[in-house]
Amino acid sequence: MTHESTVPEELGDPAVRAAEVPEPGAVTIVVPTFNESGNVRELLQRITDSVPTRLPCEVVFVDDSTDDTPEVIFREAQDCPFPVAVLHRDEPVGGLGGAVVEGIKAAGSDWIVVMDGDLQHPPSLVPELVGTGERANAGLVVASRYLKGGSRAGLAGGYRIAVSRGATWLTKLLFPRKLRGISDPMSGFFAIRRSVVTAEILQPLGYKILLELAVRSRPRRVTEVPFVFQDRFAGESKSTAQEGFRFLRHLIGLRTASPAARMVGFGLIGATGFVPNLVGLWALTKLGLHYVPAEILANQLGVAWNFLLIEQLLFRERRRHRRWWDRAGRFALLANADLLLRIPLIALLVHEFGMGALPATALALVTTFVLRFVGTEALVYLPRRGRGARGARRSGPQADTRTVPSGASRTARRSM
Closest CA to 144 of 182, 117, 175: 182
Domain with CATH 3.90.550.10 in the chain: 9-238+399-415
Residue 59 dihedral angles phi and psi, to the nearest 5°: -120, 130
Q: 235-271, pLDDT tens digit by residue?
A: 565 555 566 666 667 676 666 666 777 777 788 888 8
Q: How confident is the model at residue 293 (pLDDT cuts 50, 70, 90)?
A: confident
Q: Are strands 222-226 and 84-89 parallel, antiparallel or unpaired?
A: unpaired
Adjacent-strand bridge partners of 403 = 85
Closest CA to 378 of 321, 304, 316: 321
Q: How confident is the model at residue 132 (pLDDT cuts 50, 70, 90)?
A: very high
407 against 278, higher pLDDT = 278
- Buried b / exposed e across 365-393, counting CB within 10 Å, b at 16+? eeebbeebbebbbeebbeeeeeeeeeeee
**CA separation for the pair 158, 161 (Å, rounded):** 5
Q: Where are the beta strands (DSSP E) in 211-326?
A: 222-226
Q: What pLDDT was estimated at residue 10?
A: 38
Count of CB atoms situated within 10 Å of the CB of 26: 20
Q: What pLDDT was estimated at residue 49?
A: 92
Which residues 6+ apart lie within 8 Å of 258 measured at CB?
none
With 90 as the cut, is the pLDDT of residue 123 above it?
Answer: yes
- Grouping H, G, I as helix, E, B as strand and the rest as coil, residue 240 is coil
Q: What pLDDT was estimated at residue 5?
A: 35
Q: How confident is the model at residue 177 (pLDDT cuts 50, 70, 90)?
A: confident
Residue 121 dihedral angles phi and psi, to the nearest 5°: -105, 115
Give the pLDDT mean for 314-329.
Answer: 80
Side-chain-side CA neighbours of 172 within 13 Å: the count stands at 14
For 380-385, which contacts have Cβ atoms below 8 Å and span 24 or more sequence positions?
Answer: 380/315, 380/322, 380/327, 380/330, 380/331, 380/334, 381/315, 381/318, 381/319, 381/321, 381/322, 381/327, 382/318, 382/321, 383/318, 383/321, 384/321, 384/322
Identity of residue 211: L
Closest CA to 400 of 177, 77, 69: 69
Q: Mean pLDDT for the chain?
A: 76
Q: How confident is the model at residue 369 (pLDDT cuts 50, 70, 90)?
A: confident
With 50 as the cut, is the pLDDT of residue 204 above it?
Answer: yes
76 against 156, higher pLDDT = 76
Give the pLDDT mean for 189-205.
Answer: 77
With 60 as the cut, is the pLDDT of residue 18 above it?
Answer: no
H or E segment to which residue 389 belongs? helix 388-394
Q: How confident is the model at residue 45 (pLDDT cuts 50, 70, 90)?
A: very high
Q: Tally the residues of the chain.
A: 416
Domain 9-238+399-415 has CATH 3.90.550.10: yes
**CA separation for the pair 348, 338 (Å, rounded):** 15
Question: For residues 285, 291, 292 and 297, what is the CA-based torsion angle, rounded to 10 degrees?
Answer: 20
* Positive or negative torsion for Cα 312, 316, 320, 321: negative
Q: How confident is the model at residue 191 (pLDDT cuts 50, 70, 90)?
A: very high
Inter-residue contact 76 to 40 (CB < 8 Å): yes
